Structure 1
Amino acid sequence: MLSISKLSHSAAEATCAGLGATLVTVKNSDDNRAISTIAASVPLVWIGLYCFDSDPSKCLWDDSTGSAESYNSFSTGFPLTEVGKCVYYSTQGALAGKWLSGDCVTDTRAFVCELPYTYADDCFFNYNGFCFSFHSTPATFPDAQFICEQECGNLASISSANENRYLSINLDPSFTHNYNCMTKSNVQRDTDVSGFWFGVSCTTPYSFICKRPAGVKCNGSVPPVTVTPVLSNPSNCNSSLLFAPGVITTPNYPKNYDNNVLCTYNLATLGSNKIRLRFTHFNTEECCDTMSVYDGDSISSPRMGYYGGSLSPFSLVSTGNTMTLRFQSNQNIVASGIRATFAPFR
């Protein structure tokens, strides 16, 4: 879908997200030529690419499929993050088909939204090759799975950020929800981040979503269920760039952290989203074991806060799409430490 309205990159992304889409992604030369045809009526359009550095391998697609390292059409000298970290496409003139860098906030351009392909079906919620049905009558996990099987589906699995966003848009916000089954929050509260997943009891009834393949006639057979294994949960202390959504903790959490710990956490999210950081557990030596939070990609960025002691859960929101945290403990007195979740936020 081409929009000739000129918007900032972040506003264009928000418009596409409202459709369950992203700004257009370009993965090969055929895609690149297609943009010239689709957007021929406007000279410049935003594409769904954000660069963390002036290197195509550090430019990531909004649909979470990776970087522009394997294919790109940057003009000579680009990407250039000193000019801007967002990317636009030229359809006309000597630069036709080339990508250039632009400021995500001050520059305004037309844009193209992209939805994943699907199959014809008479279901109302048809997205990315699957039909979704929303059930407001609460059921336990086993009962909900049985109901979904009668529809030739399963309880919904969510395999991409786009799919997660699509369900958030189409869920009734009244569908609200620690433990061994998973629910998806569709409300923004102090304890829940909209679009995030939470553990709940399998025996407690909740509203639920069924998912089945689109374009396939239901013959009554029950599709197989793939159980996702439980992954380990490292602290992510001194890891490389961490992309939202995710979880960070002090080392050894929920056991005590060690003396003389120095941990840096570099958080980021795709596109022009902000980051919502939620501290769910905070227990340190108040004077000397502290967490500093910076609004940007380094400890040279403006400091948002400096925290220590035993604190109730609280949240912070970045102004951009990066956030840096620094935890440091001294040589004596330890505690159970810190746990925090971080997620994209508009």
Structure 2
Amino acid sequence: MRTVAALLFLFTCLESFESSSATPVCTNGFTLINNKCLKLLNTPVNHKAAEISCSSFGATLVTVKNDHDNQAIATIVGSSTPLVWLGLYCFSSNSSQCLWDDESGSARSYNNFSSGFPLVALGQCVYYSTQGALTGKWLSAECESQRMAFVCELPTTFADNCLHNYNGYCYTFSSSPQTFIGAQSTCAQTCGNLASVHSPNENRYITTFAPQDYYYIGAIWKTDYSLRWMDGSAWDYNNIDPIYPNRYNYCLHMSTITTSGSGFWYGDDCSLSRKYVCKREAGVPCTTVPPPVTVRPSSTNPSNCNAGLLMSPGVFTSPNYPQNYFNNENCTYQLSTLGSYRITLKFSNFRTESNYDFVSVYDGPTTSSPSLGRYSGNIGSFYVSSSENNMLVTFTSDAGVVFQGFTARFYSVVHRS
């Protein structure tokens, strides 16, 4: 309880800094257009390679939310290339099923598709035309075989000499571990705090640039079970792993390990020493040192057998888990994530009738996609990763012996070059 009391005291002592009134700027050679930072890359590549290239800047492929955004693409591209990828992926030929890479939602509220588009029969990725009668229009294309230039997008920030400057804040990733209180005190020495995280894009930025490890972030689980950020900001985004929503002694860390829930947050013992992420306002001189310093429950039986499209992150199981599954099961689990990610799938407690009851995993949306493995027997826990943003899992059992089956969780992982 002493640790908890100390954390709550630190939380109540924290003071907010005034936002910088400096002029917004762009980093990494991006150009400020319509209050966005844009960068044209002229080398023609497929959609996946374009996403990976943008992520190397902590950026996404360009998103378009209004007419001004649409015109901004024409401005940055000019006459240098006729076609550029957008950060938009369509699951059907309906704009409400076309989702932006920045996880801001669908293109239903605004889009500029050419007549008859989107048309996923031609491809599920979307590009922007900059020349001719189709200037400014969006069209569908096959994601892997088509190659074209692309525009990356970053939010504006403020001028600062920090290495990792994103959306008005500077981030530092520690190389040596400390306890939660020690980490917060170290961050405070440079007028920062352990990082609060307020959007999928910010979460992805951290996982992109932080070396693979486990890092304290600035969240505490208070005695009333509410979650609060150490810097006093609003709790408006949550990425706690849905399969591990336990509070476990009041502190949270983030995984940046590709094979261990990269990007997810986990409850942790505050007295453990871990690496950590500091965050401070960009462009604000550090003249004085500040004082040191609703979770979604998972389903009890999330089988999702033949449930249709399952968006990451999620959990599925064999039917009737943790009890034995039934004879003659025939389950399909269609897993998907946004176009800028791939999927990592973790099976736990895997136990089926060896050589008779099988789980098959495919690197794509159908059984004709490349096989990632066919599994049967008493295997325990293991991981499978896709190369794209779709994965298909099937489970079949015969009329003979039945076993407990399996539980599995899947989550999104940033493409790493």
TM bucket by the smaller chain?
0.7 to 0.9
Give, in angstroms, the shift of residue 300 of structure 1: 6.5
Name the amino acid aligned to 1:280: S
Give, in angstroms, the shift of residue 99 of structure 1: 0.5
Distance 1:108 1:287, change over 3 A: closer
Distance 2:358 2:189 in 1: 53
1:232 aligned residue (297, 302, 315): 297
Give, in angstroms, the shift of residue 209 of structure 1: 0.6
2:339 is matched with 271
- Offset from partner CA, 1:100-150 (integer Å, 9 cap, x none): 111211211111110112233443322122221222221112332343344
Name the amino acid aligned to 2:44: K
% same residue = 49
Give, in angstroms, the shift of residue 299 of structure 1: 5.4
2:78 is matched with 40
2:61 aligned residue (18, 23, 28): 23
For the 8 Å contact 1:79–1:100, the answer to whether it is kept is: yes
Give, in angstroms, the shift of residue 240 of structure 1: 5.0
Matches within 5 A, 1:109-128: 109-128=148-167
- Are residues 1:56 and 2:121 paired? no
Distance 1:17 1:245 in 2: 20
Distance 1:52 1:336, change over 3 A: closer
SS at match of 2:172: strand
1:344 is matched with 413
Give, in angstroms, the shift of residue 329 of structure 1: 6.1
2:312 is matched with 244
For the 8 Å contact 2:51–2:61, the answer to whether it is kept is: yes
2:391 is matched with 323
Give, in angstroms, the shift of residue 38 of structure 1: 0.9
Name the amino acid aligned to 1:341: F
Distance 1:236 1:66, change over 3 A: farther
Q: TM-score by structure 2 length? A: 0.71
Name the amino acid aligned to 1:283: R
2:236 is matched with none
Provide the alpha-carbon RMSD of the alignment.
3.1
Matches within 5 A, 1:141-156: 141-156=180-195
Distance 1:198 1:60 in 2: 27
Q: TM-score by structure 1 length? A: 0.83
1:183 is matched with 253
Distance 2:296 2:292 in 1: 24
Q: Which runs of 5 or more residues in structure 2 are unaligned? A: 1-38, 216-243
- Are residues 1:256 and 2:326 paired? no
Moved more, 176-185 or 59-68: 176-185
Distance 1:142 1:328, change over 3 A: farther
Give, in angstroms, the shift of residue 153 of structure 1: 3.6
Name the amino acid aligned to 1:3: L
Distance 2:343 2:211 in 1: 24
Distance 1:304 1:275 in 2: 12
Name the amino acid aligned to 2:48: S
Give, in angstroms, the shift of residue 336 of structure 1: 6.7
2:47 is matched with 9
Give, in angstroms, the shift of residue 46 of structure 1: 1.0
- Are residues 1:295 and 2:363 paired? yes
Give, in angstroms, the shift of residue 213 of structure 1: 3.4
Name the amino acid aligned to 2:334: N
Distance 2:200 2:174 in 1: 22
